[in-house]
Amino acid sequence: MNKKNIIQWFTFGIFRALSYLVVLILFFILGFIIYNGIGVISWEFLTGFPEDGMTKGGILPAIVGTLCLMAGSMIFAFPVGVMSGIYINEYAGNNWAVKFIRIMTNNLSGIPSIVFGLFGMSLFVNTLGFGDSILAGSLTLGLLVLPLVIRTTEEAMKAIPDSFRTGSLALGATRLQTIWRVILPMAFPNIITGLILSVGRVSGETAPILFTVAAYFLPKLPASIFDQVMALPYHLYVISTSGTDIEASRSMAYGTALVLISIVLLINILANSLRKYFGNKVKTN
Amino acid sequence: MKRFLEKLVEGILMISGSLTSVAILLIIIFLFKEGIGLFNSPEVEKGYVLSVSQANPVNSLSPLEVKDIFDGEITNWKQVGGTDEEIMIFRFDDIFNYYPEEEMGENYEFLPDKLSSVVQEHATIIAFLPEKYLSVSFQGKLLDKKNISPLDFFFGKEWFPTSAPVAQYGVLPLILGTLWVSLGAILIALPFGLAVAIYLAEIADVRMRKVLKPVIELLAGIPSVVYGFFGLVVIVPFLQSLFRLPVGETALAGSVVLAIMALPTIITVAEDAIRTTPRIMKEASLGLGANHWQTIYRVILPYARSGILAAVVLGIGRAIGETMAVLMVTGNAAIIPATLLEPVRTIPATIAAELGEAPAGGAHYQSLFMLGCVLFVITLVLSVAVEIISGKRSSRGV
């Protein structure tokens, strides 16, 4: 082996080792939380209310709250995002307006989540008078994931060859009919995958809900969209940093972290298997 | 009818397409509306005044001077441009040391006069008084009432938003704290991420890619609060025992956590950039007798330079804006850090920690929105930078 090949062998070895290390880091984080949290998970933990200053009991209100926020934000972000994606990809030409919209969408996705929190508090909570509520929190979170939904929709539609569009138009279909009958059904699997990933993103966000919806402790479940809720990420934050007795609530924190991570894992697996399932289906057609 | 429907749908689609632009516009309006209010707020707490005797040559004090005086760090008028005499601090309650409560009258109607005479009689006094107890014939000299100046905000070295009588809104320690933590994170994450990106794009076989890709996706998917929690229970104690620190919550802990969080961004963007290298260039290099590593080092990396730069900028942007993880592991001390092994406080962490306690509409509340503006502008500049960097690449053609 000459010198240059020794160098290559050496550097590639380092690169490979670092790549393995990334896998190791992920498994360490996941393993650590699963190992410490699995003992806490029980039926009572998942369906009970917090007790004794968050040191005992369960996290049901936080789970319900997070589910409410996931649903609420998607009700807003999904239709708007998909419609934006359709407009950018199918209607607007390559003019300045589209460029502008695209740059703005990019910028929106670059804005830190805490700024969304400030904005949500100022607009939804104070100016529009929603107060700390599911409505305010969902709108804030919806705005946060909007760029993600738009981008996945755009990519899903871009992947469809133009021959389908021209074919449909040549048969006398209008633009709208082409989109509704040809493009959307084909792009649907990828759009749904994007939607699922956005839901995952929403489930873990903390900063935007700090001042728009999250409550430290609530003894009851929300009854309307104008109620405050507890949420899993915020719950994890408070019991690991500022609970009444941090040491005593540590096991609760591990359990909460495990539930949160399980949601994210499940969503990822779901998205991946959907992608695979639809991928195979399209091929066989 | 059909045509009308087409137009209607197109209109609706256009409206939702422009929603992101509207959202950005609204964010700017609301953030700056609240934030700018800070510079219309008085330095001294609302409803209070600072006053000295007429005999005192000092007419105005900077916020920092007032704080140092009331903290006992400045004790002589000479230090703030007055005569060589010791400063006597007078707070409203101190009036009872001069006059017994009986002399105030039944409804404290004599209180304003007493305050006035105390201030007048003591040439070295500085008094912090509620405005409502000042009589029309108040004999003392009121110090200049200034509004909080942008200069003090952007270059002030102290952040004590709740200190009385004059709150300190100096963002310098917060900006520096944010930069320290983010740069530390990038220094850790960049070599790491670049190595993994090269491995993924050039070296790894399909089987390894199939393992690594979902792993990176998952790393990106883990919520920041979980990273913060992991940092709190694993990385913080580890660093504490490693460097024998009094507290483990340091800038370095923040950097390590942020580095892990920025990795997926850096890897994905850098890998995409490396993949854009035209096959023909690689083959030419290999054909000239270079081996794979030389080709990567001399041909591919220079070609992918701007894409890698974009990855770095995106990573920094992600790190600067990250809130929860940093809030949980950096210790949140608003001091200008000397080393990475000290507690720091970043801009997002400050907003998250303090907004809950700041009364809406007050100067503290407004200052946090101003911090939001600062953060917004920083990330906007970074976004535009990425835009320009990647725009350059596409205009270069090939």
Contact call for residues B2 and A87 (beta carbons, < 8 A): no
Per-residue exposure over B60-78, b if at least 16 CB sit within 10 Å of its own CB, e if not = ebebbbbbbbbeeebeebe
pLDDT of res. A2: 83
* Interatomic CA distance for residues B113 and A235, integer angstroms: 54
- In B270-309, the residues whose Cβ lies within 8 Å of chain A are 291-294
Candidates A5, A26, A237; nearest CB to B219: A26
pLDDT at B57 over 50: yes
* pLDDT, average across residues A99-106: 83
Q: Residue A174: what pLDDT?
A: 86
Q: What does the pLDDT average to over A254-283?
A: 83
Compute the average pLDDT of residues A97-119.
Answer: 87
Angle B248-B250-B254 from CA coordinates, rounded to 5°:
115
Which of B7, B27, B40, B101 lies closest to B379 in space, CA to CA? B27
| pLDDT mean over B145-158 | 84
- Tokens representing B69? 């005086």
**Count of pairs with CB atoms under 8 A, one residue in A, one in B:** 247
Evaluate if residue A52 carries a pLDDT over 80. Answer: no
CB contact under 8 A, A79 and B16: yes
Looking at residue B55, its pLDDT comes to 77
Q: What is the mean pLDDT of residues A247-265?
A: 89
Confidence of residue B396 (pLDDT cuts 50, 70, 90): very low
* Of B38-42, B110-114, B178-182, B382-386, the least confident: B110-114
With CB atoms and an 8 Å threshold, state whether B9 touches A32: no
Q: Is the pLDDT of residue B372 over 90?
A: yes
Structural domains of chain B, with CATH: 48-169 (3.40.190.10), 172-395 (1.10.3720.10)
Judged by DSSP in three states, A244 sits in coil
Q: pLDDT tens digit string along A68-88?
A: 999 999 999 999 999 999 988
Residue B275: strand, helix, or coil: helix
DSSP B314-375: HHHHHHHH--HHHHHHSB---S--SSTTS-B--HHHHHHHHTTTSPTTSHHHHHHHHHHHHH
d(CA A133, CA A231): 12
Cβ of residue A58 closer than 8 Å to a chain B Cβ: no
Tell me how far apart the alpha carbons of residues A19 and A151 are, in angstroms, rounded to a whole number: 28
Q: Identify whether the C-beta of residue A60 lies closer than 8 Å to the C-beta of residue A48.
A: yes
Prior bond of B337 cis (ω within 30°): no
Cβ pair B352, B323 in contact under 8 A? yes
pLDDT band at residue A243 under the 50/70/90 scheme: low
Which residues, other chains included, contact A237 with Cβ-Cβ below 8 Å and sequence gap of 6+? A206, B225, B228, B229, B324, B328
Q: In this prediction, does ipTM exceed 0.85?
A: yes
The more confidently predicted of residues A105 and A261 is A261
Among B3, B13, B29, B238, most A C-beta atoms within 10 A, so best to mutate, is B13
Q: How confident is the model at residue A3 (pLDDT cuts 50, 70, 90)?
A: confident
Instruction: Please compute the mean of the pLDDT values over residues B362-374 and round it to a whole number.
Output: 92
**Given this model, what pLDDT does residue A219 score?**
79
> In this predicted structure, what is the pLDDT of residue A283?
47
3 state DSSP class of B395: helix
Considering the segment(s) A43-284 as one domain, its CATH architecture is Orthogonal Bundle (1.10)
Looking at the predicted structure, is the pLDDT value of residue B398 above 50? Answer: no
Question: What average pLDDT does chain A have?
Answer: 87
- % of chain B beyond a pLDDT of 70: 98
pLDDT of residue A280: 63
B369–A contact, CB cutoff 8 A: yes
Beta strands per DSSP E along chain B: 48-52, 88-91, 125-130, 141-142, 159-160, 168-169
- Predicted confidence at residue A19, as pLDDT, reads 93
pLDDT digits (tens, 9 = 90+) for A171-198: 988 888 899 889 998 888 888 888 888 8
Instruction: Supply φ then ψ for residue B213, to 5 degrees.
Output: -60, -55
Highest average pLDDT, of A97-111, B88-102, B148-162, B365-379, comes from B365-379
- Measure CB to CB from residue B20 to each of A4, A8, A105 and give the nearest one: A105
Res A285 pLDDT > 50:
no
Per CB-CB distance under 8 Å, the chain B contacts of A241 are: 232, 327-328
Residue B230: Cβ-neighbour burial (10 angstroms; 0-12, 13-18, 19+): buried
CA B354 vs. chain centroid, Å, equals 12
